[in-house]
Amino acid sequence: MSKRAIPQKESIGVEFKSEPKPLPDSELIDTIVALSNTEGGTLYLGVDDSGTPTGVHPKHADPIQLAAFIANKTNPPVAARVSTLNLDNEGCESTKGAKVLAIEVPRSQAIIATSEGKITRRRLKADGSPETTPLYPYEIITRLSSLGQLDYSAFPLPDATMDDFSPDEIIHLRLILNQNSSGDKTLLELSDEEVLAALQMTRLVDGKQTPTVTGILLAGKSEAINRVMPTSKAVFQVLEGTEVRANIDLDGPLLSTIERIRELLDPWNPEREIEFGLFRESVPEFDRRAFREALVNAFGHRDYASLGSVRVLIDDEGLTISNPGGFIEGVTLKNLLTVDPHGRNETLMNALKRIGLAEKTGRGVDRIFEGSLIYGKPLPDYSGSTAVSVRVFIARGKPDVEFMRMIDDEQSRLGKTLSLRSLLVLDRLKEQRRLTINDLSDQLNYTEPTIRTTVEELVETGLVEAWGGGKSRSYTLSSSVYKVAGKDIGFVHQTDIDRIRYEELILKLASQQNGIVSTKDIEELLHISHRQAHRQIVKLIEEGKLIQVGKGRASRYALTE
C-alpha cells in the first residue's frame, strides 16, 4: 500500500476520475494516452473533481489487471504503474474505506494511440484547468520534432517548384558565404543548383528537384513563403516605458530577415568606452555575436508547424528573443549548457552552419552566455521558457571593468581564451565570494570531477585560492585578483572578517541544536578543515564558552550558559 497524498487539484499532469459507476473504457484510455503524449503524469481513479476520494469501482479495483488492460488498449503499449493509495493521512473521515488507485503514466518517446487509433493530448484551458483533446495531424509533427524523431525542415514541399526560389536570395547566400570566415568555401565552387542540393534546400522527388522547407525558408520568394510556409514570421519591437518606438513585421526569407534584424538592433544598442590603461574598448549594451547566435537559434530551432512569430523585443529592462516551440526532448533549463547539442530542425541548422551564420559545434548557447560573461554582466535568463516557447532575456547592465581586466590579462598571458566553464566559475565566485565544489556543481550543473578539474586549474593560474581541506574545502577569487582590482578591503572582508565571525556563527549553531555542536558541524558550517575546526573549539573551551561532553569520536561540545 502506497502512502502518497492526493494532490489538491488537477493540472497538466494530474487528472481525477470519480467512479460511482464504471468509467467508460474509452474515457479511461483516452486520458492515459493524453498524459503519455504530453508530459506524463498520474490519473487518480476514484477521486472527484474537487480532489475528494470517492472510491474506485470494483471493475477497476485490481491494480495488476488494470495495468494489463491499459497496455492492451494502447499502441505502442503504455507501461503504466498502478498502485492502491493509503488514505489514512488524508484528514477526512469520509475517506476511510475509500479505495483509490494511482495510475502513473510515463511520458512517451513516440506518438501513443488507443488500440482503435485515436490520439489525444493534454492542454490547459483559458481558466487554467486541464482537458483531454485530440492530437491533430499538424500537432503530430510538432510532437515528433520535439522528441527528435522527425526533421520537418527536411520535408520536400509538394506545392513548391524551383521557380519559387529567389535568384537575388541565392546571390545573397553566396555573398554571406564568402564574407563569413567560418562558412564552407567549397560551396562557392558549385553551381546554384548544386549549392541548393548540397545544403539540402532541394530534394529529388519523382525524378525532379523539389524545394524543401529549409530551401524555401532560406531563399524562397516572399510570395512563395507566404503560400507554402505561412508560419515563417518575425517581429522586431522597441518599447520605452509604455511607448512603442518600433514595431516591424518581417515575413521574407530567413537570410534577409536575420540580416535585417541585426541592422534594426544597431540604433538601440549603444556602446560604452572602457579604459584599459592606454587603450580604450567599446562595449555594446548587447554583445553582437551573442545576439546573432540567439537570433539564429530562435529561427533555427523554432517550431515551423505552429503559428506564431520569432519576437525580438528591446525594452527598459533589456533584450528578449522568443520563438514558438519549447525545448526539444532532453533539454531543460538546468542542463542547457551541458546537454549534447541537438535541435528540432537539423537540416535547417546544418545549412546555417555551412553558410557561416550558426556555430558549427552546435554550441551557440555557449556563445550567448560568453557574451555576458566576458563583460561581467548578468547571465542570460531562459526561465521564461515554457512547453510551447523558448524565451531568452539578456538584461541591461554596466560592464564590470575589473572583471573584464582580469579576464583580458589572463587570456593575454595564456595566449588563448578561457573556457566557458572557467568563466562560469569565476562569475559565480565574483557574485557569491566563497563556494565549495559541491556548490559550484549544483549551480552550474557540471559533475563534481569536471568542476574540480576546472577550479584546480584556476588555482594553479593564481586566479582562485583554496581554503580548508576535504569535503569542506572552499574557494574564493584570489587576493591578487582583488589587489589588481584595487579591492584589498573586499578580500579582507571575504576572509579575515569571516574568521572574526567564526565564534559568533559556532555559538549560534549550538544554540539552534539544543546547545550542542560537533567538530563535523563546524567543518560544514564554516567550510574549513577538521584541524581548523578543532582549533576553534579549543579556543571556545579556553574562553569558557563551550565544555566537552563525551570522549573520542563521540565528543560533543555544549554551551556553558
Q: What is the 3-state secondary structure (H, E, C) of 324-392?
A: ECCCCCCCCCCCCCCCCCCCCCHHHHHHHHHHCCCCCCCCHHHHHHHHHHCCCCCCCECCCCCCCEEEE
Q: How confident is the model at residue 128 (pLDDT cuts 50, 70, 90)?
A: confident
The pLDDT score that the predictor gives to residue 497 is 45
Q: How confident is the model at residue 127 (pLDDT cuts 50, 70, 90)?
A: confident
- Amino acid in the structure at residue 475: Y
3-class state of residue 552 by DSSP: helix
The pLDDT score that the predictor gives to residue 115 is 93
Percent of the chain residues topping a pLDDT of 90: 54
The pLDDT score that the predictor gives to residue 333 is 86
Over the stretch 468-501, which tens digit does the pLDDT of each residue have?
777 778 898 887 665 555 544 344 444 544 555 6
Q: Pick the most confident of 216-225, 396-405, 425-434.
A: 216-225
318 Rama class: left (phi>0) / alpha (psi -120 to 50) / beta: left
The pLDDT score that the predictor gives to residue 480 is 64
The pLDDT score that the predictor gives to residue 493 is 42
- Name the helix (H) or strand (E) containing 508: helix 502-512
Grid coordinates representing 29 are 484510455
Where do the domains of the chain lie?
14-135, 153-228, 234-342+357-395, 401-498, 501-559
Largest CA distance in the chain: 94
- How far is 168 from 221, CA to CA, in rounded Å? 9
Q: Which of 289, 290, 271 is nearest to 280 (CA)?
A: 271
The pLDDT score that the predictor gives to residue 331 is 85
Over the stretch 307-345, which tens digit does the pLDDT of each residue have?
889 999 999 999 999 999 888 877 888 888 888 777 789
The pLDDT score that the predictor gives to residue 2 is 45
Over the stretch 499-513, which tens digit does the pLDDT of each residue have?
556 787 788 888 888
Cβ atoms of 326 and 387 closer than 8 Å: yes
pLDDT at 149 over 80: no
Tell me how crowded residue 432 is: count the other CB atoms within 10 A of its CB.
Answer: 12
For residue 461, give Cα distances in angstroms to 51, 307, 373.
59, 51, 19
Bridge partners (DSSP) listed for residue 319: 314, 394
Average pLDDT over residues 10-35: 93
Bridge partners (DSSP) listed for residue 324: 389
pLDDT at 82 over 50: yes
The pLDDT score that the predictor gives to residue 280 is 78
Grid coordinates representing 212 are 524543401
Average pLDDT over residues 340-361: 87
Q: How confident is the model at residue 97 (pLDDT cuts 50, 70, 90)?
A: low
Q: How confident is the model at residue 93 (pLDDT cuts 50, 70, 90)?
A: very low
- How far is 550 from 561, CA to CA, in rounded Å? 18
Over the stretch 408-428, which tens digit does the pLDDT of each residue have?
888 888 888 899 999 999 999
Name the residue with higher pLDDT: 332 or 441.
441
Hey, what CATH class is 14-135 in? alpha beta
The pLDDT score that the predictor gives to residue 554 is 81
The pLDDT score that the predictor gives to residue 306 is 85
User: Mean pLDDT of all residues in the chain?
Assistant: 87
pLDDT at 71 over 90: yes
The pLDDT score that the predictor gives to residue 483 is 57
pLDDT at 269 over 90: yes
The pLDDT score that the predictor gives to residue 489 is 39
- How far is 402 from 276, CA to CA, in rounded Å? 10
The pLDDT score that the predictor gives to residue 488 is 41
- How far is 34 from 11, CA to CA, in rounded Å? 13
Average pLDDT over residues 211-222: 96
pLDDT at 278 over 70: no
The pLDDT score that the predictor gives to residue 532 is 78
Fold agreement (14-135, 401-498):
no
pLDDT at 455 over 80: yes
Over the stretch 227-265, which tens digit does the pLDDT of each residue have?
999 889 999 999 999 899 999 999 999 999 999 999 999
Residue 510 has φ and ψ, to the nearest 5°, of -60, -40
Average pLDDT over residues 384-392: 91
Q: Please give the DSSP secondary-structure letter assigned to residue 59.
A: G
For residue 479, give Cα distances in angstroms to 134, 402, 425, 464, 483.
62, 14, 16, 8, 6
pTM of the model: 0.74
> Options 1.10.3430.10, 3.50.50.60, 1.10.10.10, 1.10.760.10; which CATH number does 401-498 get?
1.10.10.10
The pLDDT score that the predictor gives to residue 88 is 60
Q: What's the CATH fold of domain 501-559?
A: Arc Repressor Mutant, subunit A (1.10.10)
Name the residue with higher pLDDT: 341 or 160.
160
Bridge partners (DSSP) listed for residue 134: 120
> Options 3.10.20.30, 3.40.190.10, 3.30.565.60, 3.20.20.70; which CATH number does 234-342+357-395 get?
3.30.565.60
- How far is 272 from 283, CA to CA, in rounded Å? 5
Average pLDDT over residues 155-170: 94
The pLDDT score that the predictor gives to residue 99 is 87
The pLDDT score that the predictor gives to residue 478 is 82
3-class state of residue 43 by DSSP: strand
